[in-house]
């Protein structure tokens, strides 16, 4: 074991396949309103949702604003008459029940357990994230789970990482490694907090967008080579 003793894991698109879960949820909403789902409609929702979350990461809007506005905006874009809040509840129910793992996720957690303290650091709704982590079996590998809703701040904001570090007992930063897929959320958050980062570049682009990433991996099993 090298210098790292504590691993801070992102969840969505790092350990759990959020895209698949999102697709299932949006399809359920569309069918509930008599609209046949297709790739174009799902991509439309993803653009709206991603844009809102990026604004939230920048501190421009709140998480509650996202949950209240994304389906009304989506319905407006499609020209569909629908109750945005009811759609959000249906979508959230579908998401709560989804736990589709990224390839190799449980295997790497199993191999690392017992050697490292592991924590979840995730943006999202607490009830949903806890449900998905439990359903997937990820929770049993984690010493603690830090969700933005509980923290009152989002990655990459310093306030989120301050919350995590306080809950962890203020460990030495050089012992920590942030692992995640999002350059703007996970990696930028780690950089802001002075913590080493490992970018999970699943698409293999290699483009760090000018950020000084400590490590890059393209598959979760590659993490062992770093540690």
Catalytic residue chosen out of the listed positions 10, 12, 96, 196:
10
Residue environment code for 169-193, b if the CB has 16+ CB neighbours within 10 A, otherwise e: eeeeeebbbbbbbbbebbbbbbbeb
- Told to judge if 10 belongs to the known catalytic residues of this protein, a careful annotator would answer yes
What are all long-range contacts of 204-212, with beta carbons under 8 Å and residues at least 24 apart?
208/183, 209/183, 211/183, 211/187
Tokens representing residue 118 in the block: 């592991």
Angle between helices 126-136 and 84-96 (to 10 degrees): 30
Beta-carbon count within 10 A of 55 CB: 14
Q: To the nearest 10°, report the CA torsion of 11, 15, 19, 23.
A: -90
| Distance (Å, whole) CA 210 – CA 197 | 14
| Distance (Å, whole) CA 161 – CA 174 | 14
Active site amino acids = 10
């Amino acid at each position: 074991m090298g210098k790292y003793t504590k691993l801070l894991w992102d969840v969505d698109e790092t350990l759990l396949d959020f895209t698949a879960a999102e697709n299932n949820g949006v399809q359920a909403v569309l069918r509930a309103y008599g609209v046949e789902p297709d790739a174009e409609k799902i991509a439309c929702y993803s653009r709206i949702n991603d844009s809102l979350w990026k604004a939230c990461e920048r501190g421009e809007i709140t998480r509650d604003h996202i949950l209240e506005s994304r389906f009304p905006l989506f319905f407006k874009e499609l020209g569909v008459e629908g109750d945005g809040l009811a759609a959000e509840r249906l979508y959230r129910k579908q998401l709560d029940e989804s736990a589709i793992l990224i390839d190799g996720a449980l295997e790497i957690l199993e191999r690392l357990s017992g050697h490292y303290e592991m924590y979840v650091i995730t943006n999202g709704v607490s009830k949903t994230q806890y449900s998905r982590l439990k359903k997937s079996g990820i929770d049993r590998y984690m010493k603690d789970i830090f969700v933005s809703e509980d923290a009152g701040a989002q990655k990459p904001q310093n306030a989120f990482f301050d919350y995590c570090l306080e809950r962890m007992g203020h460990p030495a930063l050089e012992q920590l490694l942030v692992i995640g897929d999002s350059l703007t959320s996970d990696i930028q958050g780690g950089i802001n907090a002075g913590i080493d980062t490992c970018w999970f570049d699943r698409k293999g682009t290699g483009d760090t967008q000018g950020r000084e990433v400590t490590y890059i991996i393209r598959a979760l099993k590659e993490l062992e080579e770093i540690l």
